[in-house]
Structure 1
Amino acid sequence: MIKTYNANEIIESYLPIDVEKVQSKWKEVRSSFTHKIIVLDDDPTGVQTVHGVSVYTDWNEETIEAGFLDEQQIFFILTNSRAFTAQETERVHRDIAERVEKISKEQGKAYLIISRGDSTLRGHYPLETEVLRQAIEKNSESKVDGEVILPFFKEGGRLTVDNTHFVKQDDVLVPAGETEFAKDRTFGYAASHLGEWIEEKTKGAFSKESVTYISLESLRKMDFDGIVEQLLQVNDFGKVVVNAMDEDDVRIFSTALILAIQSGKSFIFRTAAAFTKVIGDISSRPLLQREELITEEQAHGGLVIVGSHVQKTTNQLIELQTLSSLHFIEFDAHLVLNKEAFKQEVERVRLEAENKVADGTTTVIFTKRKRLDLGDGMEEQELQLSVEISDAVTSIVRDFSVRPNYLIAKGGITSSDVGTKGLCVKRATVAGQIAPGIPVWKTGEESTFPYIPYVIFPGNVGADGTLKDVVLTLEG
């Protein structure tokens, strides 16, 4: 039986945060921190806490140089590496690290690099950060002292308490290793305690006893000196686990972190989206409203693509289907095993959707809810087929002959591929969030549909009614 915890009881058992004191110390320390901040996003949901920043969808030298020259201190590179094989992600991260190091030297600009991963701990870890470390050390004279692990993401209900990572479901905290996310066929894991998770993922290269833990007690006491001292002791790419239940916990840690960096320490980061907002010093803003997003309204409907197979997405789709004004099309992705039938299915779905959107009806294309399962030991082959399915879905968007009023993509890999291969975005601006943890891009002029509001809806975020609420907001 899964042991769960009462969220409110745990949250209330810790000292409250002195917000005014936190902000005062943060402003004092943050003003002197001028590093360029580069976020490598393994799917497009990493911008779910920020606004007014650039997202680039390639990582050639010119793009990274543009990011360094961008007036904003922080920029994102969408790698979409969660959809990559291990070999692909290794090559991409080595290329990026080498180019970043080269441009940093040319411009005389120090940088901080963040590997933004899933708040439920899925993804190519520890591969990505290890490759970054190796490439940085090979191309510079410096050593990377440590790696910070900070998967807290309040909007998605991901809290780290007593070094254990939890997923909040209603008013209950469930250890992350007991959730459906931990059973991911490609990136699954067993441990919920982050020290044990590190030991599991690194196959014992780093033991849980060797990990440095930044406790909630020291954060809530605002023990800046103590936390700095902990960070100064980290060497040999040692792991640092940060507990957090509130954004200000992250701000307290980040204050101490900057002081440690200014004392000569060097870190790489594997974090969820909360840390990128805090370290980037990005303000909070109200949720986006329809009139801010749809400025060139046409008589066309919107287009919604649902690809994620997690249970939360399926529940949200069921709730969305209660809206009788929408048109729903099921895309039989299992036909991928029959090339000709699959090609015909893609054409059928696209033509039907085009006709409906042109008539002013918002249309929802959703993949068959049962995941394609080839059996044990076939994870790599399944990943390849999922790429073929995703390519087919994105071709529907790329070849779409009607400009929709807006576009929503549900699921991390789905939204990345729709953005890069369907909408052909090279650079987008993050407008903000339309619901907690759900970002909106404004596409660039090079896009298939320039300046369209593109809603990136993570598969594992929101309540059952959130997708429906987002659609209703955009429908007006």
Structure 2
Amino acid sequence: MATLSEIVAPYPAAPALTALDVREAARAVGAPQPFFVVLDDDPTGTQSVSGLPVLTSWAQEDVAWALGGDAPAVYVMTNSRSLPPEHADRITREVVAAATTAAAAMRRRLAFVSRSDSTLRGHFPLEPQLIADLLEEAGQPVDGIILAPAFPEAGRVSVGGIHYTRIGEDFLPSGETEFARDATFGYTASSLAAWVEEKTRGAIRADEVLTPDLTELRTRPEALVGLLMSAKDQQVIAPDIACEQDLLALSLALIAAEARGRTFVYRVGPPFMRARLGQEVRAPLSAQEVEALRSPEEGADGRGAAKPEAVGGLVVVGSHVALTTRQLERLVADSGVPVLDVEVGKILDPVSRDDHLKDVIAQAVELLGQGTLVVRTSRTLVTGINAEDSLEVSRRVSTAVVETVQGIMGRIRPRFVLAKGGITSSDVASRGLGIRRAQCVGPMLPGIVSLWAAQDGPARGVPYIVFPGNVGDEHALAAVVKVLLGQD
């Protein structure tokens, strides 16, 4: 175990770069920057950016809607981390096809980003390699795949080629954490180069991965550009990243290399796009800003009357990581908010499933009339006999959560909806709330936890908060709920 200061001690201090430096470098190129299509394997990737469109559908007209605005990027919620590889493959092909067709019609140049988990869980190498292959089939050679999972605000950094995850106050090599024991995406290596070799089953050797360290990133910008220029044939490049300035330095080098004709596909953690676009780090939203996003229900239900407005908000918890459990316990201890369990054992049993969900929905509607409510999946984690079976269990549980949210929204309108966990937040957004298009407004905590404003569906005018399972301290959930209730 070590602190971050101990890990970075052998390296030079980070350069004094700002987001403005990136914007000016992009302007100096003299040609428009590409429009970035971010395939996000769960909705939590938006937590570090602001003012960007979000899609949960990737029909060509949806992508065209995003391309037609002023934003420099769009986040497309594929939810592929909850899906088997063959489904991730199909969705990736669909998104790339829809985006390239829409962009061709509008004469826009694209760059593609595969946003995934900062603790190294997800479909790698499948997704970035497939994007690269599809681009090459269309006549665009791809020189490198940038692997930058770091997320400094959440305590995930890459230093000396090792990827670390903060546990408490200490930084552990990620291969030694609970995340590496994931039932579906587990791994053993903490070295990013060795992790690439492990995940590609030796198809890419560790010594084939380019690994610029903090010294090169912070003090040798031209050498870093030269290294990026040297990449060829989809070579993986895994740079050290320990802070925002490192991401900005990488972005400057990428702009320079791309201006000289190089093409990259990106496999990154949440803050990469903020740096690459030259966005400032946005302050967390205030209670007043959240309140300004609320609006009355548009239309009425089938009886010709608007649904009643809830006194409180709905918190939906699906994540089972230990941090989520601690955060939930703190919320309950601080506020006394009631908790309803969607019992996994009951929903996996077809005899008890439907009656159980009806009962949870009825209780939830009654409790929301009195205040804020937590609806969570029962805390005993149920897994299958193998990775695919575990994903199937997760999908059945998620479907039950979606039906619960749909049932609640059909009868009462919460002040807000907060979903905890990546798979949970994706399914709640797209299926539970019927969101197809949204705007990512900004973070609820510094650099983490995203608030969306739905542009369609029954959740329009109801703030929707995407809260990853594995970020923040034990007080984070309680702090966000307090702001959402106007108590900051």
TM class by smaller structure:
over 0.9
Equivalent residue number for residue 410 of structure 1 = 420
Kindly report which structure 2 residues correspond to 1:182-197, keeping only aligned pairs within 5 A, or say none. 182-197=180-195
Structure 1 distance, partners of 2:172, 2:452, is 32
Counterpart in the other structure of 2:324: 313
1:107 counterpart residue number: 106
Structure 2 partner of 1:346: 357
Q: Identity of aligned pairs, percent? A: 33
2:300 equivalent in structure 1: none
Distance in 1 (CA, whole Å) between partners of 2:468 and 2:225 is: 34
Q: Name the SS for the 1:361 alignment partner.
A: coil
Structure 1 Cα separation of the partners of residues 139 and 199 of structure 2: 28
Cα RMSD, aligned residues only: 1.6
DSSP-derived class of the 2:100 partner: helix
Question: How far is the alpha carbon of 1:343 from its aligned partner?
Answer: 1.2
Distance 1:273 1:143 in 2: 26
Residue aligned with 1:206, SS: coil
Residue 28 of structure 1 corresponds to which residue in structure 2? Answer: 24
Correspondence for 1:329: 340
Report matched runs for 1:80-99 at 5 Å.
Answer: 80-99=79-98
For 1:224, the aligned partner's letter is: P
How many angstroms does 1:353 deviate by? 0.5
Confirm or deny that 1:300 pairs with 2:311: yes
Write the mapping of 1:176-215 to structure 2, written as runs, cut at 5 A.
176-215=174-213
Q: 1:339 to 1:392 in 2, by over 3 A?
A: same
Q: Which SS does the other structure have where 2:190 is aligned?
A: coil
Q: Which amino acid aligns with 1:392?
A: A
DSSP 3-state at the match of 1:242: coil
Would the aligned equivalents of 1:325 and 1:361 in 2 still touch at CA under 8 Å?
A: no
TM-score, scaled relative to structure 2: 0.92
Q: Which residue of 2 aligns with 1:441?
A: 452
Deviations, residues 19-56 of structure 1 (Å, cap 9, x unaligned) = 15x66753431223521111110000000111111101
In the other structure, the counterpart of 1:382 is 390
Provide the residue aligned with 1:367 in structure 2: 377
Identify the residue that residue 404 of structure 2 maps to in structure 1: 396
Contact 2:435 2:459 in 1 (8 A): no
Q: Secondary structure at the match of 1:38?
A: strand
Matched, 1:271 2:268: yes
- Separation (CA, whole Å) in 1 of partners of 2:212 and 2:406: 46
- Larger mean CA deviation between 423-432 and 380-389 belongs to 380-389
Residues 341 and 38 (structure 1 numbering): CA distance in 2 closer, same or farther, change over 3 Å? same
Aligned equivalents of 1:108, 1:324: Cα separation in 2: 53
Deviation for aligned residue 1:427: 0.8
User: Using the alignment, how far apart are the partners of 2:214 and 2:322 within structure 1?
Assistant: 31
Determine the C-alpha separation between the residues in 2 that align with 1:30 and 1:71: 16
1:315-345 per-residue CA deviation (whole Å, 9 max, x = no partner) reads 1111122135411112211223311201111
1:257 aligns with 2:254: yes
Match of 2:165 in 1: 167
Letter in 1 for 2:113: I
Once the two structures are overlaid, the 10-residue window that deviates more, 118-127 or 466-475, is 466-475
| Residue 243 (str. 1) matches residue 240 (str. 2) | yes
**Rounded Cα–Cα distance in structure 1 between residues aligned with 2:248 and 2:25:** 11
User: What are the superposed Cα offsets for residues 5-32 of structure 1, whole Å, 9 maximum, x if unpaired?
Assistant: 2222223443223315x66753431223
Query: Number of residues paired by the alignment?
Result: 466
Q: Is the 8 A contact 2:19 2:275 kept in 1?
A: no
Distance 1:258 1:93 in 2: 25
Of stretches 409-418 and 340-349 in structure 1, the one that deviates more from structure 2 is 340-349
Q: Is the 8 A contact 2:158 2:241 kept in 1?
A: yes
Pair 353,91 (structure 1): closer, same or farther in 2 beyond 3 Å: same
Paired residue secondary structure (2:359): helix
How many angstroms does 1:373 deviate by? Answer: 2.9
Q: Hey, what's the Cα distance between the residues in 2 that align with 1:286 and 1:396? A: 33
Amino acid at match of 1:399: G
Alpha carbons 2:347, 2:356 under 8 Å: kept: no
Find the aligned partners of 2:445 and 2:397 in 1 and give their Cα distance: 28
Structure-1-length-normalised TM-score? 0.94
180 and 53 in structure 1: CA distance in 2 versus 1, 3 angstrom threshold: same
Q: Structure 2: which 5+ runs fail to align?
A: 296-308
Partner of 2:134: 135
Separation (CA, whole Å) in 1 of partners of 2:270 and 2:215 = 23
Question: What is the 5 A alignment of 1:53-64?
Answer: 53-64=52-63
Once the two structures are superposed, residues 402-431 of structure 1 have per-residue CA deviations (whole angstroms, 9 ceiling, x without a partner) of: 000111110000000000001100111111
Separation of aligned partners in 2, 1:330 and 1:24: 47
**Deviation at residue 459 of structure 1 after TM alignment:** 0.4
Query: What letter matches 1:74 in structure 2?
Result: A
CA contact (8 A) 1:37 1:280 kept: no
Amino acid at match of 1:305: V
Query: Distance between the aligned counterparts of 1:206 and 1:137, measured in 2?
Result: 19
Q: Cα gap change, 1:299/1:125 in structure 2, threshold over 3 Å: closer, same or farther?
A: closer
C-alpha contact 2:347 2:400 (8 A) present in aligned 1: no
Secondary structure of 2:323's aligned partner: helix
Shift of 1:287: 0.8
- Contact residue 310 and residue 414 of structure 2 kept, 8 A: no
What SS does the aligned partner of 1:174 have?
strand
Q: State the 1:299 CA deviation.
A: 5.6
Residue correspondence of structure 1 range 10-21 to structure 2 within 5 A: 10-19=7-16
Does structure 1 retain, via aligned residues, the 8 Å contact 2:53–2:438?
A: yes
Which amino acid in 2 is paired with 1:6?
T
C-alpha contact 1:48 1:273 (8 A) present in aligned 2: yes
CA contact (8 A) 2:41 2:80 kept: yes
CA distance in 2, matches of 1:449, 1:67: 19
Query: 1:160, 1:18 → 2: CA distance?
Result: 17
Q: Is the 8 A contact 1:101 1:136 kept in 2?
A: no
